[in-house]
Amino acid sequence: MAEELDRWFPRPPQREPGRRLGIVVGGSLSKGLEVKLDPQTVIEGLAVGRYVVIHGRTGRRFFSLINDVALDATNPLIEKTPPDVSDPFIAQIIRGTSTFGRIHVAPMLVLEPGADEPKPVKTVPEHFSEVYEASPEEVALVFGREEQPGYFVIGEPLDMAGVPVTVNLERFVERSAGVFGKTGTGKTFLTRLLLAGIIRARVAVTLIFDMHNEYGWKSQDEARREVKGLRQLFETGEVAVFTLDEESSRRRGSKTDGAVYIGYDQIAPEDVDSLSALLALTDIQVGALYFLHRRLGSRWLARLLDEEDPLEELQEALEKGTLHGGTLGAIQRKLGLFRRFGFLRAAVPEDPVQRILEYLDRGVNVVLEFGRYGNSLEAYILVANYITRRIHEHYVRRKEAALGGQGEEPRPLVITVEEAHKFLDPAVARHTIFGTIARELR
């Protein structure tokens, strides 16, 4: 009879669970679950960031993450008057009964019985559900396997050596993503690894604004060991390196494909508007930028920075009060910062954005080194916003043409910026193209 039932109602495959850690004793979906550790579980062997699986009553497995480890006791007086544990017998009795370990876990996904893909978690397991270490098979079920097309290994979970974690690069490049962490935790190395995977798999072409000169050519880790950049890792022409500071690149021995210079006549008021928070430009002064552009033409910025130019076209506006003299003077003082940027010139022979686009259209990934200008947030935001805004406009036009049957789809593009949180600050985001990209989820 049992064999007949199994034939008509096959049971889901049983997977060998990992080592049991404890049981669920409380918590909620929004705040996480509290797990009381078993007496034989060594709390020192559990680390924050480790994956665990909670086996629910209905066969569901809740894939969870440890985010806190704590000590607890059944009697609070134990903290005031600790027992004498010099006797191993007494210590064995107390540990795991009167005193025990506790972990706090956050349910991330749920694995339904017989399902091949995890789903978003919308409930919690009941009291006393058993908690186990996540097995390599369960980690692979959630993250995927390296042998699957488009998957790339990016590392191993904390305290889970030999268990690879992969990322689906094709899905990864579809949405905005961020790499977060404290200083010295390896954000740059993880980002370089992700970029290397994207370049190798050819799922997209990348434009990297290399603020600290760490991605294009070689760099050093915290132990002063030399680390290869993307140009060295891909020696067959997949990566091109440009620089804003040729002198800095020569000193570092960086092999570049050219320098990027921006002409004053190529800068629009929108580009300066992106720096309004950093330059302390008021709304009135920002509005005056557009007025000055209309009156002075494409050379508006060069003329404002020229201390010898009398700006005769503005005399009538100053006399009528259309433009206040104090506003004009404040703008000229604040924009004087641009004189210190060597990559800004009165005139340049070519359009730097068009040159970068030619490489991207050929499938060549571009790294833009900032040299010494990487220490200036104003220079970084100005250049990153200037280039990205024009590339965004170019891609929108090509996408619309493709939808209308008048051209091919543009290559998927991944733009990498460091200190991205500063671009998305509410005071800055509304003035930059990055806020638009983030809202559109492009």
- DSSP result, 396-441: HHHHHHHHTTSSPPPPPEEEEESSHHHHSSHHHHTTSHHHHHHHHT
Return the residue matching tokens 């920075």.
Answer: 305
Rounded distance between C-alpha atoms, residue 142 and residue 379, angstroms: 41
- The reported pTM is 0.81
Return the residue matching tokens 């789809």.
Answer: 409
- Mean pLDDT over 260-275 rounds to 93
Alpha helices in 158-245 (DSSP H): 169-172, 187-201, 230-233
Among 44, 184, 51, 177, CA closest to 105: 51
What letters, b where the CB count within 10 A reaches 16 and e where it falls short, cover 316-336?
ebeeeeebeeebbebbbebbe
Give the start-to-end residue ranges of the domains of the chain.
Answer: 2-134, 204-261+348-440, 263-345
Residue 184 clears pLDDT 90, i.e. is over it: no
Rounded distance between C-alpha atoms, residue 341 and residue 346, angstroms: 12
Residue 87 clears pLDDT 50, i.e. is over it: yes
Beta bridge partners of 262: 344
Look up residue 317 and give its two tokens.
Answer: 């506006």
Q: How confident is the model at residue 289 (pLDDT cuts 50, 70, 90)?
A: very high
Q: How confident is the model at residue 93 (pLDDT cuts 50, 70, 90)?
A: confident
Q: How confident is the model at residue 3 (pLDDT cuts 50, 70, 90)?
A: low
Pairing of strands 99-111, 32-37: antiparallel
**Cβ count within 10 A of residue 305:** 17
Q: What is the pLDDT of residue 128?
A: 94
Q: What is the pLDDT of residue 14?
A: 45
Residue 440 clears pLDDT 90, i.e. is over it: no
Rounded distance between C-alpha atoms, residue 9 and residue 361, angstroms: 54
Please report which helix (H) or strand (E) contains residue 92, including its range. Answer: helix 88-94
| First-last CA distance in the chain | 57
Look up residue 196 and give its two tokens.
Answer: 């290397």
Q: Is 314 left (phi over 0), alpha (psi -120 to 50) or beta?
A: alpha
Q: What is the pLDDT of residue 15?
A: 45
Residue 244 clears pLDDT 50, i.e. is over it: yes
Rounded distance between C-alpha atoms, residue 56 and residue 121, angstroms: 12
- Mean pLDDT over 21-31 rounds to 95
Pairing of strands 344-345, 151-155: unpaired
- Amino acid at residue number 317: A
Please report which helix (H) or strand (E) contains residue 249, including its range. Answer: helix 246-252
Residue 442 clears pLDDT 60, i.e. is over it: no
Per-residue CA distances from 392 to 167, 236, 395 (Å)? 26, 28, 5
Q: How confident is the model at residue 429 (pLDDT cuts 50, 70, 90)?
A: low
Write down the mean pLDDT value for the chain: 87
